[in-house]
Structures are given as C-alpha cells and as structure tokens.
Chain A
Amino acid sequence: MPGESSINLSSRGRERGFADPKALMAIRNLELRARVVVEGFWKGLHRSPYHGFSAEFTEYRQYSPGDDTRYLDWRLYARSDRYYLKRFEDETNLRCHLLVDQSRSMDYGSLGYLKSDYVRTLAATLAWFLHGQGDAVGLISFDERVRDYLPARHRHGHLRQLMLALENQPEGRETNLGEPLRRVAELARKRGLIIFLSDLLTPLDELERNLARLTAAGHEVVIFQALDPNELAFEFQRPTLFQDMESRQDVYVDPAALRSEYQSRLAGHCREAEVICQKLGAAFHRVVTDQPLELALVNFLRGRSRRNKPVRRRAQSFASS
C-alpha cells in the first residue's frame, strides 16, 4: 500500500534526524527552507546506503586515444594509474522543469500549514539540489491554466528568481492537469526532467494522454502526489457541511458514515494515478505532508538511480500482481 510505505519512510526519516516538517514550515523564507532540507539530506546521506550517485553520472570508461581529455578523472588516475573517462548521459547539463500545482485544493492543511506550503518547499528543495549540481531548473506553476513560467536555466540569480516565483501566492482556482502538461510539452522542446508536484485530486482522464505525450517526447517525468494526512484518514467526527475548496460547492456529510467509502474511493483514485505513471514509465511518489521533506528527496533520487539501471518492465509485473 502506498500509505504504508509513506509511514515507513516517515518513521525512518525521524530516526535519521531529518527536520520535522512542522518546524520547517515555521521558517518563513522559502530559500532557507530548501537549504535546510538539502543540507539535512546531505547530513543524513553520510549514514545512508545511497553513496556516489549524482544526477547524470553514469559510468567510467577507459580512455582511448581521441577522447576528450577534459573528462579524464585525474583522481582515479592518481589512485589506479589508469586513464578513465567520466561518462554522462547527456553532454549538456540536465534541464529540469518543476510543475507546481497552485489550485485551491492545495490550500488545504490540517497540520498548521498548507499542502501548497509543503509542495512549494519541496519544489524549492529540488530546485536548490539540482541547481547545486549545475543543472538548469525551470518553473511552471498552474491551476486550471499555466500561471508562471520560468525557463530552465543555470545562471547566476536564476535560482533566486525561481524562489521568488515560488513564493508568489497566486489566486489558485480549479485543477486542470491537461492544459499545463500540454503547455509544458510546447515549452520544453529539449528532452529533460519534468517534476510534477500536485495532489492529483482531479479526474485523471487527461493525465494519461498528456503524460504519454511528454514521455514520448523523451522527457523523464517524476510525479509527486502531495496529500494531507487528514485527506487520507478523513478523521472528522461531527456531521458537517463540507465546502469544496475549488468549486465552493457545499455538501453535507456525516464523516462517520462515509469514512470507509471515502478512503476506498481515494485509494482507488491514487492507485489509478500510480498505474498510469507506471504504464508510461513515469516515477510516482506519494508524499504525505507530515513526512520530512528529505525523504521525498531520497525517494526521488532513489527512483532516479533505479531508472538508470537496466529497465525492467515493471508495468508488466504490476499488472501480473
């Protein structure tokens, strides 16, 4: 179950001494939050089993005459007295686009901070991390249409601009996954990494079609689905008039009577999203907003490292399971 894995991750995170999200969200500056997470991640990484991976490093190759001597690993030569070249997946730096959902449903939060705060911190963390590796990072924020667009760049001051763009609190409306993904396909012509951060609490009809377009264009797509713990557990007690944050529609609900039905329908929805991602080769991570952000980063990098290994047709195995 996705929920179970999240809980395990969370407990593991606490053991490692990652920053408590509640304490982290108390920091007002988004850039500082991202730095804390990334530094915490590096700190935790020394004790972690995931050594030596980087965003794009793939393997060493023995030097052969004619190779560009710029990629010679001189340290390895010093140790082994042999010439090795560092091989990268792409000659250029990685181009990453962060797609951040800023619809009204992201403004829900039961922990004292909103899902949107958590997601923006996660986006900032990823941007900080990737930028630190020399990758070009861009930003697209959206609700039912694209609101902000920052092209993927790696230059001085770009990260700061990106942080400022993330800190903007646009007046979000409904979620529409189709339009932003279509727009990204148009904007990100070169192949790159597309990190999609949303709660995916919207019909998924268009997700599959537009994701397929992106993956077909050679983009690597990573999806983070951010959910509040209360959205998962639905721990309301009294019958209440619930108001849809996006449509403002009022629905009178007795949670006690509807809890199990709600949970099963939500689980079905999440599973559907996960299936779509697996089918299209996109990485799917569910983050619950009470988890340390470092764990999301770990999941992200671990997923990427797996992806760089020989591909197994996991979709088939999932289908068979």
Chain B
Amino acid sequence: MAGPVLFHLIRRSARERLPFSSMMFLRPTPPRATRRRKLENIFLLLLRCLAILLLAVGFARPFFPKGNASPPPAEEGRQMVVLLDTSASMRREGLWAKAVAVARQYIAKAAPADRIAVMAFDQQPRTLVSFADWASWPVGERAALAGQRLENLSPGWKGTQLGLALTTAAEQFADEAGIGEAMGTREIALISDLQEGAKLDGLQGHGWPKGVRVILDKVDPLRRGNAGLTILDSANPNSTVGLSAKVRVTNARDSDRENFVLRWSAESGTGFTGKSVDAYLPPGQTRNILAPELSNGAVTGALKLTGDEEDFDNAAYFAALERERVVIAYFGSDSADDPNQSRYYLQRAFPETARRQVEVISTFANAVFSIETLTRAGLAVIPSGLDAAAVAGLRDWIAGGKTALLILTNAQSGATLAALAGMPQIELSEASGDYALLGEIDFTHPIFAPFADPRFSDFSRIHFWKHRRWTMPPNVQARVLAKFDDGAPALAQITIEKGSLLALFSGWTPADSQLALSSKFVPLMQTILDWSGGAESVRTQFQTGEQIPAPVATGDALQWRKPDGKIVSVAAGTPFTETDAPGIYSVMAGAELRHFALNLPLDESRTAPLSPDDFARLGVPLRGTSGLSAAKAPGAQRHLPPAELENRRKLWRWLILGLLAVALVEVVLGGWLAGRVNTLEVSA
C-alpha cells in the first residue's frame, strides 16, 4: 500500500530527460514534494491504492486463517465417521497408540447432538460402531461403549484399500440421510499413517457426496523410512541343488538406509541358515533380486531382510512351486511315435514345463477299455469310433462335468458322436473338393478368445484336405465354434449334462489337414485343456487377505494349518479364507501335504507419506487436519479443499473485475490530468 503513495510523491521527479543547450547557467535543485503536490491528485492516489488493495485481497484471501476455519457446529449436531486404518503398515512403532488416542478424542469430544460412527479398514472396511448403534446408546455411555469396541482392535496384516474405505464411509452418510434425519455437518475423520502404498483407486471417478468433507489425521511413526520384500516366484524349480526364489525388495522414499541383507531364517525360527545376499537399494527404489538357495530338502522357508528397523514387513514366506500333473485319456491304441497318427502330435502339444506335466495315457489296456484311467484324466481325446461299453463309460464321465474331444476322422464316427450326444442318429458325409479352410470362428468362446487379437486370429492358412459334413438338426444343443468355408461345422461344442463334448470334423494328422503342423495347434490344445478344467491351480504364493483355492474338490473336510499352529477345518472344494497373517499355510490334500505361502502386499512397505494433494486431485474435499493427531502434516493446515478453492476463485473474478474497473478509471483520469498539465505548459 505504501507503493502508490511513494510513487505518487515522487511522480514529479520522473526520470524523463529534457535536452537543453547548455547547463552553464543552471545548478542542480533537489526534488521537492510540496504539500500542494501531495494533495494535487489525491483522487488518483486513492484509485491506485484501491487497485493495489483489491489485488492484495484477491491473492491473500485463500491464506486468511479465518477463511480456513470450519464453520461452527450446526445446531442439529454433526455427523462424523471416524475411519481408523488397521492395515499392516500401522504396525510400525508408535503409530497404533496414537491412532487410537485420536479416535478416542473424537468420540470423547462428541456433543450429545452429534452422531458418530466408527469404522476400521484395511483391505475391506468394517463398521465398529454404526450411526444406529450410537443413536441407540444412552448419551452418557456412548463414549465408553464406543471406546470398548476400539479396545479389541489392532492393526492386521493386510493391505490398505483407502479409496474403498473412504467411499464406503461416505456412503454411511447417504444411508443416514435416507432415514430422514436432519443434515448437519458431515465429516470423515481419517486416522491413518497415509502411506503412499495405500490404494486410492476406488476414488477415481467416484462421485463424492455433496457436503461430506474429510479431515486428514495423519499419525507419524517414531522412525522414518522402511524397507520390505515379497516373494515373486520360484526361481529354479528344476534345480537339483536347492530351491531359490525371486524376491522383490522395496525401499521407501523417506528412508535413510540403503544397504540390506537377505537370508533364509532357520527352521527353528531363530537365527539364519545358508548364504546371504546383499541388496543395495537407494531410497524410493524397488528391485528384483535372486534370493540365496534354500537349504537342501526344504520346500518352504522364511526369507528375512536385515538392515531395516521397521520389522513388520521384513519377512517373506516361500512355498516351493509344485508341478501340476495332468492326465489326458487317449481313446486310441496308436503309437506315440507314429507321425501319421493323432497321438504323436497330441503328445508333443503338451511339453513338460516348470508348472505343468501332462501325461497322455491310453485308456486301452491290452485293447480293452479301462475306466480307472479315465477317472484320473482331466481331458479325454477320442480319435476314432468307440464301442458301446466305452461310449457308455465316457458319456457318464463327461456328464459328471468333464470335457472330451472327439476327432471325427471318418464318416463312420458319426455313430460315436450320436451315441455320446445322446442322439438317435447322425449322418456324416465326406466333403468333396480339394481342401477347405476355416471360414468362421467364434472368438467369443473361451477356447478361441485368446486368439481374438488380430495378430493371432489368422486361421486362414490352415488347409483341411478332408473333412466331414454334418447337417446339424435345429433341435441339437450344440454351439458351433468354427465353420469351414463351405458352411459345415469344423468344431462344435455339444453340452452333455454338466460336461461338454467337443467334436472336430476333421483330423489334425497330415493326411487330414495342416492343423497339427500349424502354429495354432499347440496353443489351441492348451486352451482346450485349460478350458476343460483338467488343470488345477498350482499357485503357492498368496497375499494376506486372498483366498486360497481348495486343492481338492471332493472328499472329506480339509484340515488347514495356519502359521500360528491353529487348525481350521474347511469343506473340500471350499476356498480357504482365513488368510489374515503372513506365513506358511499347510493342508493335506489327499495323501499329499501342500504348502501355501502368504505374504504382506508389497505396497504396505511403501511407507512414505501421501500428499494431501493426492486426495484433492481425486476430488476428495478436505477440511485440513483436526489438530488432534500429535504430528500434523506440514502444510496441511493451509491446504484448502478444491470446492472451497473454487468458491474463492469465483470471488477472485469479482475482485479482478473491480480491479480492472479501477485501473480503467485510473488510466482515464491519469491521462486527462497529464493532458491538462501538458496543455498548461504549452500555453505557458
């Protein structure tokens, strides 16, 4: 404000130079500000001061402390959801006690007219105290009763779905409003360590309810920085020396440590065993590292990270991958070494991999159909016609939820197809012509869906020298997955009760087609096997909170052993859900002991704090911090929710409009005054 006054006073001594012939008769005179001049253009001075004032107010307004203060509690009382983070990162030293203390303060400060709900969240939000509970409790006992529910609460081992928690908490208000209650101030007090590993995905595109604000109560741990690890995969499942694992290690941005050591924990639980691996990780980086080899004979282990003080995430558990064994029942007696026969190609379509070992077994023992073989199989392949006994057994097997692939290598196979499909008769005829190509493929079917991408969808180069034509009656429950270019079905799916029969109207041997020699054959066979359900899940690494699929679908209840030694009985075929702590989970699947390793989500190790701007960017209206948490986020007090900022921007427009108007008047007035002075000088 002093600026215009100062400039106004020294305006007369403008630095304009006036050339003059000689300075001989002149001497310098100091600039003077006479009283007359001070008062000469007082209106102009006032205008300039006003312009500066408007500009200053326009810019300073968002920083007025008063402007940031919350409105006084409404008469009808406020509604608040206290949202308490119980994710694994809250296990860090010094966090949980502070968080509970802040929650208790909110509860204790509640006025009789206020309505408080308390929720806890990690991967899933859960209500501890609902608005209805609060309202039903006597006013004097509310704080005590809500406090009791907090007592039993402790941080778990799961990840942080902060976005989901916030949206769920915001929906609590919507449920309340539905009852017809008066709408007071509605706030969510988020008590959390606000680590950057918290997932805010749920907020993206979420329509935030109007009038609900979030108070960020960030609790700070005693120490900054953290490093964590998780196991990705078995590194060398075929190794004869020892098992190893690929490990992902991460170091938080705010960490001040860089050197860590990885070692397998001894089976006794104390001390280490085997070699160690050094890991150098600058703050903020994540690296994949090959862990040292596990001791001989061990299939499970706990890999420990040393060098990090926050030890809640310094152990990663490993269960060696067990190879999946799949049996394909082959209803033919042909040799696996004859390239003119189908089995030769089928056998080679399923090479042995780290994850899966496929065994093609003939169902004919000494040319006699053996049902025992079929019960072990995940998929049946029938390359030719079958006798009645085999058809009956196979049909029952398919009806139980299995899949069989029938290759119609000649027109006589129609009888087998009819018998399996339960139809009276099916007439097949050999197609004429040199060859046929695939004309139409249903890429929406799971078998062909992996080929839907234009890069892989070209089946047009596969020539079918021979194929069988079937005129499909309209009442047949069949889905044609692929057609030849003459319109005849090439691959059809016929549903038999719970199972499916796939009928291929040509063969894949070189005599019939180029299918087995094409690049599509192996992936097609793999997708058929996957789709048939013959291959079971072989995952052994899970994250806390994930379900472990049942390793056995039928039979007696399974006895799951948790890391703490607790035995949990779960029915066969039901996934195991009590995965609330990291460690090795074991179960007897038939005669086999299976191990599953559960680890913390690696995001929990990323403990550098989130910025309030991250919330603002996702459209969450913030109300600063309550000041209840012991350590406030720097700068959070000054942070404004976007809605408020927007409101102020509207005010800005008026201020700037006013400023422009004042500036216009100033320019006109200044110009007029300058013109008048010039006129006076000219006339003088």
Chain A residues close to B by CB (< 8 Å): 105-108, 115, 199, 201-203, 228, 231, 235-247, 249-254, 257-258, 261-262, 265-266, 269
Asked whether A254 and B22 contact (CB < 8 A) given A235-B684, A237-B681, A238-B681, the answer is no
Residue of B nearest to A231 (CB): B21
Tally of B interface residues using CB under 8 Å: 24
A249 CA to B15 CA in the complex, in Å? 14
In the complex, which of the residues B23, B677, B680 has the most CB atoms of chain A within 10 Å of its own CB atom? B23
In the complex, which of the residues B13, B18, B677 has the most CB atoms of chain A within 10 Å of its own CB atom? B18
Contact partner, A237, options B27, B29, B684, Cβ 8 Å: B684
Query: Would B17 and A258 count as touching, CB distance under 8 A?
Result: no
Cβ contacts under 8 Å, B26 to chain A: 242, 251, 253, 258, 262
A241 CA to B27 CA in the complex, in Å? 11
A237 CA to B676 CA in the complex, in Å? 13
Query: Would A108 and B24 count as touching, CB distance under 8 A?
Result: no
Asked whether A243 and B21 contact (CB < 8 A) given A238-B681, A252-B28, A253-B28, the answer is no
Contact partner, B21, options A228, A250, A251, A253, Cβ 8 Å: A228
Contact partner, A108, options B16, B19, B25, B31, Cβ 8 Å: B19
Asked whether A244 and B13 contact (CB < 8 A) given A237-B681, A253-B29, A257-B29, the answer is no
Cβ contacts under 8 Å, B25 to chain A: 261-262, 265-266, 269
B residues 9-48 touching A (CB-CB < 8 Å)? 12-13, 15-32
| Selected A-B contacts with CB under 8 Å, 10 pairs | A199-B21, A231-B21, A243-B18, A243-B20, A245-B21, A249-B23, A250-B17, A252-B28, A252-B31, A266-B25
Cβ contacts under 8 Å, B30 to chain A: 252
Query: Would B12 and A258 count as touching, CB distance under 8 A?
Result: no
A105 CA to B25 CA in the complex, in Å? 14
Query: Would B21 and A105 count as touching, CB distance under 8 A?
Result: yes
Query: Would B32 and A244 count as touching, CB distance under 8 A?
Result: no
A238 CA to B32 CA in the complex, in Å? 11
Asked whether A239 and B24 contact (CB < 8 A) given A108-B19, A245-B19, A250-B17, the answer is no
A231 CA to B19 CA in the complex, in Å? 12
Query: Would A238 and B22 count as touching, CB distance under 8 A?
Result: no
Cβ contacts under 8 Å, B19 to chain A: 108, 242-243, 245
Query: Would A244 and B20 count as touching, CB distance under 8 A?
Result: yes
Query: Would B22 and A244 count as touching, CB distance under 8 A?
Result: yes
Query: Would A238 and B684 count as touching, CB distance under 8 A?
Result: no
Residue of B nearest to A264 (CB): B25
Asked whether A252 and B13 contact (CB < 8 A) given A237-B680, A238-B677, the answer is yes
* Chain A to chain B: the 9 pairs with minimum beta-carbon distance, closest first: A108-B21, A265-B25, A201-B22, A105-B21, A244-B23, A254-B29, A243-B17, A242-B20, A237-B681
Residue of B nearest to A227 (CB): B21
Asked whether A247 and B21 contact (CB < 8 A) given A239-B32, A254-B32, A257-B29, the answer is no
Shortest CB-to-CB span from A204 to chain B, Å, is 11
Shortest CB-to-CB span from B482 to chain A, Å, is 95
Cβ contacts under 8 Å, B15 to chain A: 241
Shortest CB-to-CB span from B15 to chain A, Å, is 6
Query: Would A201 and B24 count as touching, CB distance under 8 A?
Result: yes
Shortest CB-to-CB span from A199 to chain B, Å, is 7
Asked whether A105 and B684 contact (CB < 8 A) given A252-B13, A253-B29, A257-B29, the answer is no
Shortest CB-to-CB span from A231 to chain B, Å, is 6
A250 CA to B13 CA in the complex, in Å? 13
Shortest CB-to-CB span from B678 to chain A, Å, is 10
Query: Would B23 and A239 count as touching, CB distance under 8 A?
Result: no
Query: Would A238 and B12 count as touching, CB distance under 8 A?
Result: yes
Cβ contacts under 8 Å, B21 to chain A: 105-108, 115, 199, 201, 228, 231, 245-246
Query: Would B27 and A258 count as touching, CB distance under 8 A?
Result: yes
Shortest CB-to-CB span from B30 to chain A, Å, is 7
Query: Would B20 and A245 count as touching, CB distance under 8 A?
Result: yes
A269 CA to B13 CA in the complex, in Å? 29
Shortest CB-to-CB span from B674 to chain A, Å, is 11
Query: Would B29 and A246 count as touching, CB distance under 8 A?
Result: no
Contact partner, B16, options A105, A115, A241, Cβ 8 Å: A241
Asked whether A236 and B32 contact (CB < 8 A) given A244-B23, A252-B13, A269-B25, the answer is no
Residue of B nearest to A254 (CB): B29
Contact partner, A239, options B20, B31, B681, Cβ 8 Å: B31
Cβ contacts under 8 Å, B677 to chain A: 237-238
A307 CA to B282 CA in the complex, in Å? 105
Cβ contacts under 8 Å, B32 to chain A: 239, 254
A251 CA to B17 CA in the complex, in Å? 9
Cβ contacts under 8 Å, A257 to chain B: 29
Query: Would A242 and B680 count as touching, CB distance under 8 A?
Result: no
In the complex, which of the residues A199, A235, A238, A257 has the most CB atoms of chain B within 10 Å of its own CB atom? A238
Asked whether A247 and B29 contact (CB < 8 A) given A238-B681, A240-B18, A242-B18, the answer is no
Query: Would A258 and B29 count as touching, CB distance under 8 A?
Result: yes
B residues 668-684 touching A (CB-CB < 8 Å)? 677, 680-681, 684
Shortest CB-to-CB span from B17 to chain A, Å, is 5
A147 CA to B477 CA in the complex, in Å? 118
Cβ contacts under 8 Å, A106 to chain B: 21
A247 CA to B25 CA in the complex, in Å? 14
Shortest CB-to-CB span from A302 to chain B, Å, is 28
A106 CA to B21 CA in the complex, in Å? 7
- Further contacts, 13 of them, CB under 8 A, given A245-B21, A249-B23, A252-B30: A108-B19, A235-B684, A236-B18, A236-B681, A238-B677, A239-B13, A240-B17, A240-B18, A242-B26, A246-B22, A253-B26, A254-B31, A265-B25
Residue of B nearest to A106 (CB): B21
Cβ contacts under 8 Å, A247 to chain B: 23
Chain B 150-193 near chain A by CB (<8 Å), digits 1 or 0: 00000000000000000000000000000000000000000000
Cβ contacts under 8 Å, A239 to chain B: 12-13, 29, 31-32
Cβ contacts under 8 Å, B29 to chain A: 239, 252-254, 257-258
Shortest CB-to-CB span from B318 to chain A, Å, is 85
Cβ contacts under 8 Å, B22 to chain A: 105, 199, 201-202, 244-246
Cβ contacts under 8 Å, A266 to chain B: 25
Shortest CB-to-CB span from A162 to chain B, Å, is 26
Query: Would A241 and B17 count as touching, CB distance under 8 A?
Result: yes
Query: Would B23 and A242 count as touching, CB distance under 8 A?
Result: yes
A228 CA to B20 CA in the complex, in Å? 11
Shortest CB-to-CB span from A206 to chain B, Å, is 15
Cβ contacts under 8 Å, B31 to chain A: 239, 252, 254
Cβ contacts under 8 Å, A235 to chain B: 684
A146 CA to B680 CA in the complex, in Å? 42
Shortest CB-to-CB span from A241 to chain B, Å, is 5
In the complex, which of the residues B18, B22, B27 has the most CB atoms of chain A within 10 Å of its own CB atom? B22
A236 CA to B15 CA in the complex, in Å? 16
A242 CA to B29 CA in the complex, in Å? 11
Shortest CB-to-CB span from A143 to chain B, Å, is 13
Shortest CB-to-CB span from A311 to chain B, Å, is 33
A265 CA to B17 CA in the complex, in Å? 23
Shortest CB-to-CB span from A255 to chain B, Å, is 9
A314 CA to B344 CA in the complex, in Å? 145
A249 CA to B20 CA in the complex, in Å? 10
Shortest CB-to-CB span from A20 to chain B, Å, is 19
A242 CA to B23 CA in the complex, in Å? 8
Shortest CB-to-CB span from A269 to chain B, Å, is 7
A240 CA to B12 CA in the complex, in Å? 8
Cβ contacts under 8 Å, A265 to chain B: 24-25
Residue of A nearest to B13 (CB): A239
Residue of B nearest to A237 (CB): B681
Shortest CB-to-CB span from A81 to chain B, Å, is 60
Query: Would A251 and B28 count as touching, CB distance under 8 A?
Result: yes
Shortest CB-to-CB span from A104 to chain B, Å, is 8
Cβ contacts under 8 Å, B681 to chain A: 236-238
Residue of A nearest to B30 (CB): A252
Cβ contacts under 8 Å, A258 to chain B: 26-27, 29
Residue of A nearest to B18 (CB): A240
Residue of A nearest to B24 (CB): A201
Cβ contacts under 8 Å, A203 to chain B: 24
Contact partner, A269, options B12, B24, B28, B684, Cβ 8 Å: B24
